Amino acid sequence: MLALPPTSVLFGNGLRYNFDPDRRGTAIRMAAPSSAVFAGKSKYRYDVFLSFRGEDTRHSFTVHLYDALRRKGINAFIDDKKLGKGERISPTLLKAIEKSRISIIVFSRNYATSTWCLDELAHIIRCKKEKNQLVMPVFYNVDPMDVQYQRNSFGDAMAALEDRFRDDLKKVRKWRSALSEAASLPSAWLLGDGDGCGFIEKIVEDAYAMLPPKRLHCREYMVGLGPRIEMMKSLLDHSNDGICMLGIYGTGGVGKTTLAKALYNSIFYQFEGACFLFDVREVSKKYQGIVHLQQTLLSEILGEKKTKFGSADEGISRIKHRLSHKRILLVLDDVDEVEQLEKLAGGRHWFGCGSKVIITTRNKQLLVVCNVEKTYEMKRLDDHDSLELFCWHAFRLSQPPKGYEKMSKRVMRFAKGLPLALRVIGANLAHKNLEECRSILEQYERIPERTILDVLKISYDCLQDGAKGIFLDIACFFKEEDLESVEEKLAACDFGARFYIEVLVDKSLITVADNGNLGMHDLVQQMGREIVRQEAPSNPCKRSRLWHYKDVLKVLRENLGSSNIEGIMLDPPQQEEVEWSGMAFEKMSNLRILVVRNSQFSTNPKYLPSSLRLLDWAGYPSTILPPDFSPKKLVYIKLSGSLFRLEEPFKRFECVTYMNFSHCKFITEVPDMSQFQNLRRLLFTRCRNLIKVHDSVGSLSKLVELNLSVCSSLTSFPREINMASLQKLHLSYCRSLDYFPCIVGKMDALRTIYAEGTAIKELPPSIGNLPRLGSLAISTHKSIRELPSCLFTLQNLSRLNLSGIQPPSIKSLMKLMQESQPVISCSNLEALNLENCCLTHEDLHLALRCFWNVQKLILSGSNFVSLPECIKECANLQTLVLNNCKRLRDIPELPSKLENIEAEDCTSLTTESLGHLWSQVLSSLLYTRFLLLF
């Protein structure tokens, strides 16, 4: 038996791999190179490569597309050279294609007349096949069918090329094939003459969504940051091999977070893990806020689901244990207390050598107390950069247009170099004529001291009443919440939420982050809350909105209140006992919004105002709602973790679109819901005593999501469902449910079904009535008798989890599929989970023949002794999981695109097999994220 020595190989991409074949149970993981060299440089140099016919679109469409990509922070490559006749495509250009994540091909009328363009196209298609790169075709005044079948101008061009290259028709055939393949791709854009500007933004957003999520979204116009970023890099580079801590300090609104994000985007790929924790100061004030931040830190850096733990001390221990050998980048944004830093990055031994921790704060003294050795003061913009930043937001130009020069300089005097003020004022003056601008500027000039809050308030004063209401609701209650959820909540208040949210984004008063959350600068939020406070400075019960928990507790305990109050949020940082009479809401006849969390009440509410549109009361203390509560316009109700029983007067809420009764242990039955025809979301997650769901739920035509996960007592569910709008169905871990409903008619909207851990015995043939089903997870603790073959006729099915399905069902299904080929198509299946299906070698051979196009394959807990040789024919396989395959002895030649293997607790693997596997790693530098667990 060959004995292999411990091996350490430094690949060309800067990642070190350590291998010791005699250490069973240890991990072969990426280890950072010495700190003298940056680790893990990206294999991509560009985000986007632009392929186009210069004479057709260089000075029209393509240059605008390129500029829009760059403004979005997308690193795009464009070839600016003008080509002469006979020039061949250069190796530099081919390398640029290979080093790009996405290629955008602009097909114009004369595209095919250029052999340069055709060579580019052929290489792009080759990279798509071999490197799994993404391709976006754009048809600019061109019929896609002309490109695909080479008709009209494309047919003429290709005929001319065949005549020109009579001695090399193989090259022409390659070009024809590339044209056909590119034109048939699904991610295509079709543009007409007048479509340029609007479509460019949509194309840019589409490309941005395809890029890896690590890159943070930065503002559209960032001025004056280049030299500052280089200074930051210099400070970080000249640190020692241990942890370098860099503090960025300055006043609010000066751009500390923007600088930190831009710096993060420019260096994150150099580390084994990276995390940007936003709004540390604000999040820390919430219940278990520090714990939440610690969980997020571990989740982001390790790429795992959020780890759960109960205390900050436990979080400190987890961070030190999991990250002490990892070279990481961590940004802590807006830190204002020493304790926050101590519990998130409290010691230099917490992280691996070469790690960088960047802190933004308004408090310079905090950096001194915490011994942060490198600091940088974020100063206000100079006059030149101030003018440019204002002009970008006001005019979409780098300089003021003719006639606006003096007005622009007046704005600079108000803003005093503060980027936040320049953005908000610029957005407020956008699309205004000179007279309108002068009128608004007079309002700024009336402010005696011109504090930043006063400057920001002018933008608020210019809003329509509806937008003002939305703005104040977000500032007081909904900052950092998911945009879709906020729209749903605010729609309940008859404000035209979507339109006004777009207005607020245009005015730079709110932002929408990449993850869909609403953002608001804390100074803007402070301005909004100050507007509400000034409604009645010394009397909270006369204000329109109450959000500070001490004010709310005073109103509830002392039975105060008035018709002025429109919204209340009680969310104390620690559990509060509320001693009250239950009648505090009686005087609040205009209350629209009521949000209660983390509070325990001494008695049940005896009165709730019927004016409520949104009721969100976690831990609602009663089994019923007050008898006189009859809200005609209640749209959103969430009583999670409460004593509520879902009984009368429940049936009075005919306008409701959202219901969430998750974690309600006293709910045993979902009653007749036939009158709730406006309902869009219905959630009963973890209602462990829920037994029956009324049949009427199966015919709610507007329902988008139905979630009954972990309702472990559920036995009765609608036998038939016909729900035209349903997109998500969650039945996971309903352990007592032994049947799946029959699909009546086509349900075109349904994309996702989760039904793991149930007792379901079979899937009905009507599953074929879900033509757009993309993800199905069905596993059971009992044997499924039958899996219908129609399951695999679903053209959009891309993720399939059959874990735990026993061999008889799998074997009969595989055999049926083999006999039915090529009628049954599984070509779009990307991820397949066959964990604990006890597959034999024969079963797996059939499975691989059927699922040849799969990219991720989970075979953990199988009984085979060796992997079939045909696995190498799975050309797109990138991830293979073989954990707990205790009989596995041999691993054959693997596909060339494979990046990850997990084989933990495969106790029968021989040293020869490990050596053979390692030789495959050494022979291919295509592996960029190879992970082995033995």
532: closest CA among 515, 505, 518, 551? 551
277 touches 293 (CB < 8 A):
yes
The DSSP H or E segment spanning 358 is strand 356-361
For residue 493, the tally of other CB atoms under 10 A from its CB is 21
Helix axes 434-445 and 405-415, enclosed angle (nearest 10): 30
Question: Counting runs of H as helices and runs of E as strands, what totals does the chain give?
Answer: 28, 39
For residue 390, the tally of other CB atoms under 10 A from its CB is 27
- The DSSP symbol for 156 reads H
**735: which residues sit within 8 A by CB, 6+ positions away?**
712, 757, 758, 759, 781
Catalytic residue among 55, 87, 98, 120: 120
- Distance, CA of 746 to CA of 763 (rounded, Å): 16
For residue 840, the tally of other CB atoms under 10 A from its CB is 17
Concerning whether 120 is annotated as a catalytic residue, the answer is yes
838 touches 811 (CB < 8 A):
no
- Distance, CA of 477 to CA of 531 (rounded, Å): 14
Q: Is the dihedral of CA 886, 891, 894, 897 positive or negative?
A: positive
753: closest CA among 736, 735, 741, 765? 741
* Residue 277 C-beta-side C-alpha neighbours within 13 Å: 32
Parallel, antiparallel or unpaired: strands 614-617 and 599-601: unpaired
> Which tokens belong to 279?
């709004």
Assign 413 to helix, strand or coil: helix
| CA R_g for the chain | 31
- Distance, CA of 317 to CA of 312 (rounded, Å): 9
The DSSP H or E segment spanning 374 is strand 374-377
- The DSSP symbol for 310 reads S
- Distance, CA of 348 to CA of 303 (rounded, Å): 22
Catalytic residues: 120
